[in-house]
Amino acid sequence: MTVPLSLFRAALLSLCVLAFSGCWPASHSQLDEEKEPHFLAGKSRVNAMDYQGAIESFEKALEVNPHSGAAHFEAGLLYEKYKLDYAAAIYHFDRFLEQRPKSDYAEVVKQRILACKQELAKTVSLGPVAQSMQSEFDKLSEENKRLHDEVDKWRAFYARNPVPTNTPVATPVAVRTPTSLAQANRIYNSRPHYPGAASLSPIRRVDV
């Protein structure tokens, strides 16, 4: 059976369209992703421990090819381990699974997604409590600083004005209370009196 020339040309045209649209087998697509210049730059920066630069390179690789499962995988690992941005890591891991659902790393990526979600849950559930504790801690720190400043001021004051160690102590004077009417009259007559006081009679005993 001879294949019509028009049918052959149509099939060839379809293959060309698939080639230009990037719909190649997964293995060929993966090799292309890992040869992309920005992806290679990202791997080089990871080896140099330039993690921020590596993330930027993988993000550029995704700008060139948003369907790059390899770039999503590498970016997800960096966001999880070094940036602690679990939401971004989950996003890239999810995109990786969309592009390579049957990958040998699929189960590992699913475990990483679960771990990132657990970390996010911790921040959400403990957020209000942590904020309250931080506020209380700030108040205590401020009060502690105020007390330290007050102590420092008093220390400076006593350093400028030392307390004498030989300050004489006043001796209390004993006050003798008159024990008889005669003694009371003598004390009364010995004191100066205001005008008109002379008409006053001396103190007399009153018998009850």
Q: What is the pLDDT of residue 12?
A: 44
What per-residue confidence (pLDDT) applies to 138? Answer: 77
State the Cα–Cα distance between residues 55 and 42, nearest whole angstrom: 7
pLDDT tens, 145-185?
788 788 788 777 777 776 666 656 566 555 555 556 666 66
Q: Among residues 108, 40, 45, 103, which one has the least CA distance to residue 80?
A: 108
| pLDDT interval class at 28 (50, 70, 90) | very low
Averaged pLDDT of the chain: 75
The pLDDT tens digits for 120-139 are 998 875 556 566 777 777 77
Residue 182 pLDDT: 66
Domain boundaries, the chain: 19-126
What are the tens digits of pLDDT across the range 40-63?
999 999 999 999 999 999 999 999
Q: Work out the burial of residue 30: count CB atoms within 10 Å of its CB; fewer than 13 is exposed, 13-18 middle, 19 or more buried.
A: middle
Specify the amino acid at residue 164. Answer: P
Cα 43 from chain centre: 32
CATH architecture of 19-126: Alpha Horseshoe (1.25)
- Which residue matches tokens 């007050």? 150
In the block, which residue shows the tokens 């990958």? 103
Enter the pTM of the model: 0.48
